[in-house]
Each structure stands twice: as structure tokens, then as C-alpha cells.
Structure 1
Amino acid sequence: MSQNKIQIEASWVSGEMESTGHPGVHALLNPKNIVIVGASEKPGNWAERVWRNVHRYGFSGNVYPINASREEVWGVRCYPDCASLPEKPDHLVVLVPAVAVPDVLLDAAKAGARSATVMTSGFDELTDSASVDLATRLKKVIEETGLAVSGPNCLGNLNAKAKLVTIPDDRPLLLTPGPVAIISQSGGLATAMKRALQDRGIDVSAIVSSGNEAGLSTADYIQHFASDPDVRVIFSYLEAVSKPEPFLEACRAARACGKAVVVMKLGVSDIGREAAQAHTGALAGSMQAFDAVAGQVGVIRVDNLDSAVEAIELLAHAKLPAGKKLGAITFSGAMRGLMLDIGRGHGLEFADLAPATYEAMGNILGVGSILGNPLDGGFAALTKPTAYVELIETILADSNVDMLLLQEELPRDDGSTRKLKNLADVEAIAAKASKPIAFVSMLSYAMTDYSRELRRSLPHVPFLHEIDKSLKVVRSIMDYATTRPSPTRTAQPAANNPADRHLQSFAKDRIGPVIDEVRSKALLRDYGIAVPREYLCATAEEAATRAAEIGFPVVGKIVSSALPHKSDVGGVIVGLNSAKEVAEAFDRLIAVAEGLPQKPPIDGILVAEQASGSLELVLGASLDPEVGPVIMFGAGGIDIELTRDVALAGCPLDEKQARQLIAKTRISTIMGGYRGRPACDSESVVKALVGLSQLMFDAGGRITSIDVNPFLLSAKGGVALDGLVVLRK
């Protein structure tokens, strides 16, 4: 460990830093002084903008410019290097050419710096070898020095408490500590989110522009903000998860601390392309894998920035619901209809209120029996001063309602005493109620200084904009609130680790990356996944003899790692009922292989027991580069990509989690017995999924994907009719 790294950790232990949060992130956001490396008076350059903003927002520490070719800049002394500064440097803002950045950091660390923001681009966001090599060197320097580094290729940071703004943005920013922290791999997106939230009257405590994350990662920032008492919501814009396990652990820790992590995720990983040989790879793209794994630790993923704003609005101002049943009060029949239609589209359910609730509502309104929910207002009785509040309290008291939605929007100016009183009354109720209340508007609307100031007086009620995005966010947060986050999961290697033995054999025989059916199924069998009785045959005579041993009918298949989907080219023949038919099928299959344009090498013809069952399922596993191994289950067969009735879960998987995974699919209903069909042996699927999970764990990242399709299931059990293993290149 470097001397500088030791000093940083020692100052943390001695109490020089706060005792909460990540020490490196704390150093980054709470510097004692700021050193701008690459100072220049070229009009409009970033260094000058940073200098201006650091002073504009009242940073209390000293600020020093560095440029070896200048003695003065911006009307103050300019220093040649960190060693020449009048005090020990603490935080660097680096704006020099990429090739110079590693040496700048080395010099700064020697002089005692704790942190740096590297805005310079030209590292591994580019694909040429020189840039990638430079990125490797930069990471090595960061590791050796222990510097807490945001970037490279970033746009600076903001900490409202420390009055720190190193973002080179000329547009004014409100610097007030609030319930939100923003972490973004895009600096421009981070500032756009800040402005959008600011316009909605939501204060942001901190912004971290993380860039390429050569040093500190999103996981480090989440860990830090999870322990910040002022932060309720952590928003992250992610282009890629650089450190999967730390990221998942940080999100798990945030959930444990009562902090919601809202993520907008960009991109589809290479796993689909790398594993194109397997159905699993094609179906389990990174977004689905991310949802399956990150969702289990409490991440709320949104599709766009508008949804992110609504999610933050709700989470920053309301309690979490205990269930998924909605109540609503509207003043418009159109609003009622839209909420019902759109809510159903998002899988939301409006509660069937208790008879006593309907009776109480009728008494409040003076109209006798009330039916239907949400209410279509328009009742003359609402002119009664207390009716609105009484209705809200009555519906909230119903045990069938977990969250109440009210039609309303913030007024743009003072002019309605009744509306202001209603808003104040709802705020008073929401502050004490155990269930969340949220206002929902028909459309998105602009806010004025008046409405923003009014909004600050109503801290316990969210004001959601537009029905569709609001209800979609409500559904996501209800899912989040009612899902118990998975604990840190550990697994032990299987006895003698069969995966090791098979993988070593593949390497010795130079087999891969696609493993043929025979060898793939041998590996699966060692993890408790049943396979049919079968033999690999080299001649027609051998095939006929083996078929007689198995018992008719049998199936004949071409075995070749170059033909992962044999049925697509006529490489499978079923229903062979005699030795003669088997021998003829052998010759036909050989002819099929020889007639293919690519002339694939074949290992022989597989003669297998023709198993029977009522359902074709798919079991799979995929190594996602961002969130690790993922297990898949669903409806299988040749139309798997068309039906797409599949669900994913993280790995390792125990029996309880396997059952939960199965229950997420439509075909699980058929498995349990549907419309007179016999129930299937679901426990054999559970056993196979757990075995598949153990196999991926034992493989330790050496297997890219596994495809078991079809897995034929009946009342007597399940069997893997085909298997395909793809090794990591």
C-alpha cells in the first residue's frame, strides 16, 4: 500500500473525516482546498468556469491554479506544480491532456493530496489501443496512490453542505441541502436532473459525475450516501456496472438504511451477442438480467428521466405503502376512467372497499349508498366544508387500501382559498397517517415561484405529474416496498466440484467454446439434472444395436458443436420404432450434415430414449458481465423466442427462490394443473434450477451460458432432452 493511501486511511481512523460514509467519497466532496490543474485564460474554457463556480457558490477553502507555463492566471498567482503550493494540496480538478494525467496524480499524491476529479477524456471510452493502455496506467496509478478519484471523462461534482461546485456549468444552481443525491456517469445528464428537480421544488444535496469510474465507482458513492442522514433517495444514471458485487452490496446496504436507489440504466450488454448460440443468451439481455438481480436487492429501475423525476418526487415526500391496493378520489369522470384504464395496464388494482367504508362515505356525502372506486366527485355535497377531509380519512382507514391517490395539482398563483385549505388539510393528514397519500394531475404542468414555495410547505405529500407515468412509477414503488430484499447470498462448492473436472477435460481436449450435447449433458447430469438414456454412435449398426438396448421408440440426433440448434437444419428425427428405422435414420442424418453449406464436423449420431411429458420448459443460465450469473426459467420448445414466457433470478438460487422464479411465469399455472390437466412434478424443476445455479457458482465465471431446452416435464418428473454449454472465451 502506498504512503498516501496509508495517510488517507489513517486520517479516517483518527476522526479527521466524518465517521460515516465512504472515506474516499467524503474526501472528494469535502475538500480543504482545491487545485485546478490546467489553468488557462482561454475564453470559455472549463478550468476558468470551474474557478468561477468555486468562488461563485462560496467555497470556504483556498483555490490554487496550476500551469507550468504561466506565472499568473485569473488575476492570481499560478503555480508550476503541487510541490510549489503554499499548503498541502487536498483536491485536484484535472484538465490536462490525457497522456499527462497519470503523472499529475502521482505528483499530487506525493504532495499529500487526498482526492481528484479528472475531467479529461481520452481513456477507455475510446477503443484504440493507446487509449485503452492509458486507461490501464491511470487505474494502476490510482490503486498505487490511494487517491479518491472521480472520472476520468466527467463533469465535476457538487456538495451543497460544503458549498462545493466544480461543475463547469454557467447556469445558476440552487445550493440547498435536500433529500436527493445524484450519481451519474454522464455529467450533462446529472445537471439536467438537478435542474428538473430544482424546478419541481426538490433540493439536491450532492451530485457526483462519475465518468469512466477508473477510481471510485457507483458502488462507492451509493455506500457513502446510504449513511447520509439528509439523503432519502439516491438517483443513479448507469451506463455500465463496473464492480458488480460491490454495487449489489451497496444497494442492499442502502435499502437496509431506508434509502431508495433509483436507477436509469443504459445499454444492452454483450452477453446476448456472446451467447447467441444459446436461447438463454438471446433472451436474457442485460436489462432483464439487471432487473432480476438488482431488483432483488432493492433497486428501482426507471425507463426514462421523466419517470425518474416522478419516482424521486414520490419517494422524497411519502411513506412507502405496505401493500399494492390503491384508493383514489377524483373530481372528474374522465380522470376516473383514465386512472382505471391506465392503472390496469400497469398491473395496478384499485381496492374493493369494505361495505362499512361505502356506508360511511354515503353518510358523509348525504347520498345514501355509494358504489365504485375511485370516486367520481361532482357531488354537490362536497361543498360541505369537512366532506373532503372526512372522505380521505374514511378511505385511509379501510384495511383494503394501502395508498391513496387524489386528483390535484399545485396552483400557479394565489387565488383559491378552498384549494389552499384542501392542500393544507391533506398535508396534515399525510404527516400523521401510516399510509402514503399522493396527488396526481391529468397532465404535466409548469411550476412558478409561487407553486414551488407552496410546495415547500407540503413536505409529506408528493405531487405527481400526468396519469400514465405517475401510475407506472406507483407500480414500481409498490413492487419495491413489498419485496423483501434478498440477503447476501453465499454458496459452497459442490462436493469434488464436478464443474472443475469437466472444464479441465474440455481445456485438455481443446474443446470449446460451444460444448456439444453429449458433453454438455454429462456436466448437467453431475448436478442432478436428469437426462434420457442415450448413446453416441459412430455407425448405423451401432445405432441400431443401442436403440434395441434402450427400447423403442427412440430419437436420432446429429452431435456437433457447430450445430447448437439441430432441429433448425433437420438434424433430429423422432419416433424411430425399429432397428431398421434407426439405421436408415443414421444415414439420413449423416447426409443432412454433409449437405450443409458450412460442412460442420460431427462427432456421431446420438440415439436417445424418446421421453414423454406434457410440458416443454426451458432452463438456462447466463453470465452477465454487469451483474454476474443469472438463472432463467420458462416455457420452452422451438418457439421460445416467440412466446418469451420466461423469468430470471440472480445466482446462487435456493429452493425457495427457485419456486418464486417459477411462479413469475404463465406456464407455472399449467404446471400446477389447469382446466383438468394433471399437475406436473414441479419439485423436479426446482431441483434442476438449484443444480443449474450450483453449476454456475462452481464454474466461477468460466461458463458464459447454459441452455436446457426442452426440459420435458410430466407428473412423474422432468428430463433434459437437450443441453448446450457455452464456455467463456
Structure 2
Amino acid sequence: MGGPTNPCNRAPVMPGRIGLPRGIPMPERMLTESEGYRLLESCGIPVPPNHLATSAEDARAAAGRIGYPVVMKVISPQIVHKSDVGGVITGIESPDGAEEAFGTIMQNAAARAPEATVAGIIVEKQMPAGLEVLIGGKTDPSFGKVITFGLGGKLVELLEDVSIRVLPVTDSEIRAMIREIEGYRLIRGYRGESPKDEEALVRVIAAMAQAFIEDPRIREFDLNPVIVYEKGVSVVDARIIVGDTAGGAPARLRVRAPPDLFYPASIAVIGASASPNKVGYSVLRNLLSFPGNLYPVNPSRTELFGRKTYPSVTGIPDPVDWAVVAVPARIVPEVMEECGKKGIRLAVIVTAGFREIGGEGTVLEEKVTAIARRHGIRIIGPNCLGIMMPHMGINATFDPVSPRPGDVAFISQSGAIITTVVDWSLPEEFGFSTVISVGNQADLGFEHFLRFAEQDEKTRSVTLYVEEIQDGRGFMQIVGEVAKRKPVVAVKSGSSRKGRAAASSHTGSLAGSYDVYVAAFRQAGVIVARSLRDAFNLAELLASEGYPKGKRAIAVTSAGGFAVLASDYAETYGVDMVDLPDDVLRELNAFLPPFWNHANPMDILGDADATRFAALFDVLIRHQNFWDIVFVIAVPTTLVDPAHVANEIVRLSRNTEKMVVGCMLGGDSIRSGLRILRGSRIPNFEELEDAFKAVGSILEVGAVRQE
């Protein structure tokens, strides 16, 4: 972050002068207001002139030096909500008023908070009115320190107009953070009001962010309100929580798995069974189509599904790349020892009964992981559904159905989500390059599977279903690198507010866990989807078309109503419907009926057939310099053959480097067209709004990628 303009580069952060000597264990507590002001001043952050008075005479003298009007507040570690005990008096205009206010506050504190230890009364300049904003910070269990910005004052909890970033941040990221809230119009200047000092606000956020990063004892803070003027900024209330940094769970050893690990020539199913109610039966049955060598392992059988069965993996005479382990949890350590002797490189442990049950399960998982590391075996799972690689004929799961080959990798923290999605995908003719259930992530985790998807030639985009990430910062680094090469879409569970603690006195806590995940994903260039349907719409579109080079869009339709809706949806989701250039209009007028709307979205009238669409597409192919995205909206009519229109959409896509979005709307009558689009890897949206929502999400992340 930093730079010569950052005041924290010149001032030490939280030195011993605020009473917090380094190296001494410290329980969590809130800094007093005077301590908080000293911390802010040490970073060059503007605060009102102030003085901690210990007597009425001291308060009178301080008020005179500071200049009237002044505010006086009680300072006590036991009094958090000062106003509730009569501990705040504003608008003090005279020396006598200062003395009287001191006595009143001390009497109120003694009467309403008799157990409190009062350190004094802070006297501070009453700052003039301005735009009130907040700067908050919290320590997230997954991503570490995050910072929040939004409109401040009394309405913060009501409006919740905030933006969030995981630290560290650059000055440009801070500007983007400020400008993305709805209230930015008030900073820019609203209804004739002069603009506020945005650059001064950037400097304050940058300084506080650096202080937050550099001193591990700062756990949480809430600067609210921060008053922004036409020139300058002042923090007039600061609540800062300090304490020893809690030690998190150790990060998993991130060793990049070799790419060829995921392309086996041979697989052993340990725990293969003839009983249909056993997991080993389902796994073996699903792998019968695997073109490589398949070895069932079961000490009680000599043959399964017509294949020779071995009593132990060590009895297999040929090399084995993968082992799918489907035996009871207590046997898994013994099996892993045998896999190590055999030289197996990857164990897919579908067995449950490990860390997810706690206690002995956690101990057992650690034992299995230690054995694997000693032998150089990588692990998927345990407690996972398994892995599917449709292009290789691999379904190493106990899901009863296998997906079609495609170009979207799906990595999920829920096996049940996978079985549901695969079942949905079949009638939709949606295909996957890889489907991975991460399970407990005892060894291989999201970061390894993302790296695999990054280099896998069959994968063009990635979809994640995430419940929890332990090493958020490590994940952000890796997913951010992967997203630069291949688009990544994520669905994060847990958006409900039900379990979120009330913001109470710390508005930094408005950044609930779900909000932090969403902010972190977007910061890393990941597209966040609210539903699985939206996620796969996005993934399919990106796999086919990639990121558009800009947001200039055009829409083509034979239905006037959908042209109007296209305009509405474009405005809602931030898609720029560009004007048609004069030379393009002249070419269109040469063959379109006189009554077409002569505008974008282009309504080429209800009697349009595939030939009219084709002629218009020819114009777009010749004039690719004024547009980046085209929405082709076709509806069923007696004059339109959906297959012909679909073939023209395919031709348009192949002859441009632009994003082509299919919106063939209807039911069974358009199925022939949908099959053609699907076969050419061009996605189709059954709902027009979904198409614009998807493109808007892509444009939002595309803008972050270009910053």
C-alpha cells in the first residue's frame, strides 16, 4: 500500500505511549477515547483538538485553549455507551459552562455507573457539520483483517450502505471502495452541494488500514462518524478494540500437486463390493467404463463384475495410480500403509467418520494424513463424494449417474450439491470437464484443484460451491492467479442474517462473514453468484465466450416487448446499450422494413425470418468496432425456423471475437435451435433478465480485473 503520502510511513503505530507495552499478554479491551485519539494522531489521522481533564479548573483552561464550542465526554473503561449515563454534553460555549459540565458529568457517572473508574473528562472541539461516513475494521476468522467503508452516523445500521476489502489494499482500491457505495453521490456533490474532499478520505482510510495491518494487537475498530468537508476530514468518534491476536488453525501445507496426478492410467477400488447397498459397489460399477486398468480389491471375493478381484492392493501385479478407498474408517490407516507400499500416488477416500465428527475422528484423520505424507500419497477427502472426469470415462464416486463431458470444472464442498447438479445437468445437456468433492480437505484442497483446473486443457471455466475456507488469504492469492487465466464463479452458502450478531456498538461488525467472503471473492476477480443456476449460466457463458473487451452492448430481437425489456435490464445490470453509428444505420435501412425502430435494442419486427437475422449479423460482423456484446433474442413464430436462427447465431459467434449471448425464448418449439447452440458451445438463456444479470456480473468483475 504505502507511498510517500501515507502518514503512517512516518509515524510509529501504537507505541508504548498509549499504555500497551509490546510483548506483554493483554486481554481484549476497548481503548479509551483519549487513547484512541493518540493512536489516530500517531498515524497522522485528523482528530478534533482535545485534552483529558481531571478537574473542573483543568476543563475550563482546556476549553479556552481549544476554542468554543466544545464537547465534553466521560472517560472510563467501564462506560461504553457514554450518553446512556449522562456522560456527554455538547454545545458548551463558555468557561463557566465548561466547569459546570465537568461537575455534571462526574455526578451523572457516580449516580448511574457507581462501579466505573473515571479517568477524567475529555474536552474536545465541537466540529462543524459535514458529511458523516464510517471506517470500520474487523478480524475475520478466514480472511484476517478486513476494512469497511460506508455512510456513517445514526443511519448506518438502517442503510447498511457499505463496501468491504480484505487487507492490504492499494490507494486505487480504496478509491474504488469509496465510489461503489450508493452514498458516493453525496461525496461527489449532490443537488448543487460542493464535492467533499475524497483524497483526504483516501489518505485517512489508507493510514488506518496500514495501522491495522502493522499492529497485531488492533483487533477491531469503528471510526464513526468521520466528518468529510469540502477541504479535509476529521474523526470525531473512535472505538478501537485491542488484545492479543488469537492463534488460528495452522494453514494446510500448500504443495502444488503435479498436473499428471489427475490423469490416471489405472485405478484400484479398495472396498469393492457385490452388495448394491455398499458404497464400494457403486464406485466400482461407475468405474466400469474407465478405459484404463481397473482393479477391484476385496479379500472375500475373487471376481466382481467379471473382473479379477485382489485381496489387497499390494497383490496387484501392475502399477496403480489411484486408489478409491471405500472401507470403514478404522481400517483406512492400514489401507493407506498398503497404498504406500504399492506406490499409489492419489487416494480418493470417500469414507466418512473423520474430522467432521470431532474427537477420535480428528485423531484418525491426522494419522491417515501422516501416513500419506510419509509415503508421498496425495489425498482427496476423506468424507467426500469423490471425483468425476467425464472426458476420461472416470466416475470415481458413488453418485448413481455420470455427467456429460463439457468444459466447466465444478469443485464443491458438498457432495449432495454435486449429485443434485449432475442430475440437473443431464436433461439440460450441460457438461463438465471435472467434478470434484473436496470433503474434509485433509491434504488436497480448493487451491490444488484450482491449480489443476488452471492447466487442464478441457477446462475453460471453473465453478465453486463454498461453505468455509480456513486459509482465506492463501485462497485469495491462488484463486486470483487462476482467475486471470480462466474465469472462476463461486456460490457461497450462509447468506442468511439469522446467525449474524447485532452490530451494537461496533459498526465494523456489519461486515458479516458472508459479506467478507463476497468481498474477498470479488477482490480476487471471482464472480459471485447467488444461486447454482446463476453460477452455471455464468460459467457456461464464460467458457464459451470469455470476458468481453468492454461493456458496449447491442440487442437484436423480432419482438418489440423484449426490446423494451432489454433496455430496462441493461440499465439495471450496468450494461451499456450503445447508439448505432450512422453508417451502420444506413446499411440496416437498406434491407430492414421501413417501420423497424431504428435504434438499439433493434426491433426487426415480428415477421423477421432467419434470412433477416443473417443479413443483420453480416452488418455486425463487418462493423465490430462499435460493440462488445450482442444479445440475440428470438421468439417462436410461424415464420422462424429455430434451427436456422441458431445456425446464424453460431456463424456470428465464429466470425467475431465478441461475446454472443443466445436468448432463444420459448418451450418445445425452440428445442431444435437450443441443441444447435449447445453443440456449438454457445449458451442460451431461457429468461431474458438472467442473460443481462449474468453479463452484468461478468462486467463488474471484468472492471476489477482491469484495475
What's the TM-score once normalised by structure 1's chain length?
Answer: 0.56
Structure 1 residues 256-655: aligned runs within 5 Å: 256-257=484-485, 259-267=486-494, 279-367=506-594, 370-378=597-605, 382=608, 386-394=611-619, 397=623, 399-408=625-634, 418-442=641-665, 453-459=675-681, 461-484=682-705
User: 5+ unaligned residues in a row in structure 2: which ranges?
Assistant: 1-254
User: 5+ unaligned residues in a row in structure 1: which ranges?
Assistant: 1-20, 487-729
Going from structure 1 to structure 2, the CA distance change for 1:409 and 1:237 (only over 3 Å counts) comes to: farther
What's the CA shift for 1:25? 5.8
Matched, 1:86 2:314: no
Higher mean displacement: 212-221 or 357-366: 357-366
Matched, 1:36 2:269: yes
CA contact (8 A) 2:403 2:432 kept: no
Going from structure 1 to structure 2, the CA distance change for 1:144 and 1:130 (only over 3 Å counts) comes to: same
Q: Cα deviations across residues 613-650 of structure 1 (Å, max 9, x unaligned)?
A: xxxxxxxxxxxxxxxxxxxxxxxxxxxxxxxxxxxxxx
**AA of the residue aligned to 1:151:** G
Corresponding residue number in structure 2 for 1:248? 476
Matched, 1:26 2:256: no
Separation in structure 2 between the aligned mates of residue 34 and residue 447 of structure 1, nearest angstrom:
43
**AA of the residue aligned to 1:477:** I
CA contact (8 A) 1:152 1:213 kept: yes
Percent of pairs with identical residues: 26
What's the CA shift for 1:50? 1.4
**AA of the residue aligned to 1:147:** I
Find the residue that maps to 1:121 and give its secondary structure. Answer: coil
Separation in structure 2 between the aligned mates of residue 410 and residue 188 of structure 1, nearest angstrom:
37
Q: Cα deviations across residues 274-300 of structure 1 (Å, max 9, x unaligned)?
A: 896763553212332223222233211
Going from structure 1 to structure 2, the CA distance change for 1:192 and 1:278 (only over 3 Å counts) comes to: same
Structure 1 residues 179-258: aligned runs within 5 Å: 179-257=407-485
CA contact (8 A) 2:613 2:648 kept: no
Corresponding residue number in structure 1 for 2:122? none
Separation in structure 1 between the aligned mates of residue 418 and residue 514 of structure 2, nearest angstrom:
21
Separation in structure 1 between the aligned mates of residue 635 and residue 482 of structure 2, nearest angstrom:
31
Q: Cα deviations across residues 485-533 of structure 1 (Å, max 9, x unaligned)?
A: 67xxxxxxxxxxxxxxxxxxxxxxxxxxxxxxxxxxxxxxxxxxxxxxx
**AA of the residue aligned to 1:312:** A
Separation in structure 1 between the aligned mates of residue 330 and residue 431 of structure 2, nearest angstrom:
38
Separation in structure 2 between the aligned mates of residue 319 and residue 76 of structure 1, nearest angstrom:
44
Higher mean displacement: 269-278 or 356-365: 269-278
CA contact (8 A) 1:269 1:286 kept: no
Corresponding residue number in structure 1 for 2:247? none
Separation in structure 2 between the aligned mates of residue 353 and residue 416 of structure 1, nearest angstrom:
27
Residue of structure 1 aligned with 2:293, choices 46, 61, 64:
61
Separation in structure 2 between the aligned mates of residue 189 and residue 370 of structure 1, nearest angstrom:
46
Separation in structure 2 between the aligned mates of residue 171 and residue 426 of structure 1, nearest angstrom:
32
CA contact (8 A) 1:217 1:242 kept: no
CA contact (8 A) 1:326 1:402 kept: yes
Residue of structure 2 aligned with 1:146, choices 376, 385, 407:
376
What's the CA shift for 1:311? 1.0
What's the CA shift for 1:418? 4.5
CA contact (8 A) 2:559 2:606 kept: no
Q: Cα deviations across residues 392-442 of structure 1 (Å, max 9, x unaligned)?
A: 34456375532110112799xxx9775433332332222121322212144
What's the CA shift for 1:224? 1.1
Going from structure 1 to structure 2, the CA distance change for 1:278 and 1:131 (only over 3 Å counts) comes to: farther
Going from structure 1 to structure 2, the CA distance change for 1:101 and 1:267 (only over 3 Å counts) comes to: farther
Corresponding residue number in structure 2 for 1:98? 329
Find the residue that maps to 1:455 and give its secondary structure. Answer: helix
**AA of the residue aligned to 1:66:** N
Find the residue that maps to 1:463 and give its secondary structure. Answer: coil
Going from structure 1 to structure 2, the CA distance change for 1:456 and 1:370 (only over 3 Å counts) comes to: closer
What's the CA shift for 1:220? 0.5
**AA of the residue aligned to 1:179:** D
Separation in structure 1 between the aligned mates of residue 590 and residue 606 of structure 2, nearest angstrom:
13
Separation in structure 2 between the aligned mates of residue 457 and residue 41 of structure 1, nearest angstrom:
38
What's the CA shift for 1:321? 1.5
Separation in structure 1 between the aligned mates of residue 661 and residue 283 of structure 2, nearest angstrom:
39
Of structures 1 and 2, the one with the larger relative CO (CA 8 A, separation 6+) is 1
Separation in structure 2 between the aligned mates of residue 270 and residue 329 of structure 1, nearest angstrom:
41
Residue of structure 2 aligned with 1:47, choices 280, 283, 287:
280
Separation in structure 2 between the aligned mates of residue 193 and residue 430 of structure 1, nearest angstrom:
28
Separation in structure 1 between the aligned mates of residue 366 and residue 504 of structure 2, nearest angstrom:
32
What's the CA shift for 1:101? 2.0
Find the residue that maps to 1:464 and give its secondary structure. Answer: coil
Find the residue that maps to 2:444 and give its secondary structure. Answer: coil
Going from structure 1 to structure 2, the CA distance change for 1:278 and 1:190 (only over 3 Å counts) comes to: farther
Separation in structure 1 between the aligned mates of residue 624 and residue 286 of structure 2, nearest angstrom:
52
Find the residue that maps to 2:327 and give its secondary structure. Answer: coil
Separation in structure 2 between the aligned mates of residue 485 and residue 289 of structure 1, nearest angstrom:
22
What's the CA shift for 1:216? 0.6
CA contact (8 A) 2:384 2:415 kept: yes
Corresponding residue number in structure 2 for 1:672? none
Matched, 1:170 2:400: yes
**AA of the residue aligned to 2:697:** S
Separation in structure 2 between the aligned mates of residue 107 and residue 275 of structure 1, nearest angstrom:
52
What's the CA shift for 1:264? 1.4
Going from structure 1 to structure 2, the CA distance change for 1:26 and 1:451 (only over 3 Å counts) comes to: farther
Find the residue that maps to 1:157 and give its secondary structure. Answer: strand
Matched, 1:137 2:385: no
Going from structure 1 to structure 2, the CA distance change for 1:422 and 1:357 (only over 3 Å counts) comes to: same
Separation in structure 2 between the aligned mates of residue 179 and residue 43 of structure 1, nearest angstrom:
32
Separation in structure 1 between the aligned mates of residue 445 and residue 669 of structure 2, nearest angstrom:
35
Separation in structure 2 between the aligned mates of residue 446 and residue 289 of structure 1, nearest angstrom:
44
Separation in structure 1 between the aligned mates of residue 383 and residue 522 of structure 2, nearest angstrom:
29
Separation in structure 2 between the aligned mates of residue 164 and residue 295 of structure 1, nearest angstrom:
33
Find the residue that maps to 1:234 and give its secondary structure. Answer: strand
Find the residue that maps to 2:464 and give its secondary structure. Answer: strand
**AA of the residue aligned to 1:188:** A
CA contact (8 A) 2:270 2:324 kept: yes
**AA of the residue aligned to 1:471:** F
Higher mean displacement: 315-324 or 197-206: 197-206
Separation in structure 1 between the aligned mates of residue 501 and residue 365 of structure 2, nearest angstrom:
24
Q: Cα deviations across residues 522-577 of structure 1 (Å, max 9, x unaligned)?
A: xxxxxxxxxxxxxxxxxxxxxxxxxxxxxxxxxxxxxxxxxxxxxxxxxxxxxxxx
Find the residue that maps to 1:365 and give its secondary structure. Answer: coil
Find the residue that maps to 2:410 and give its secondary structure. Answer: strand
Residue of structure 2 aligned with 1:113, choices 312, 327, 344:
344
What's the TM-score once normalised by structure 2's chain length?
Answer: 0.57
CA contact (8 A) 2:557 2:632 kept: yes
What's the CA shift for 1:62? 3.3
Aligned length: 452
**AA of the residue aligned to 2:374:** E
**AA of the residue aligned to 1:118:** I
Separation in structure 1 between the aligned mates of residue 679 and residue 624 of structure 2, nearest angstrom:
28
**AA of the residue aligned to 1:434:** E
Separation in structure 1 between the aligned mates of residue 304 and residue 657 of structure 2, nearest angstrom:
58
Separation in structure 1 between the aligned mates of residue 580 and residue 516 of structure 2, nearest angstrom:
38
Q: Cα deviations across residues 580-610 of structure 1 (Å, max 9, x unaligned)?
A: xxxxxxxxxxxxxxxxxxxxxxxxxxxxxxx
CA RMSD, 1 decimal: 3.4
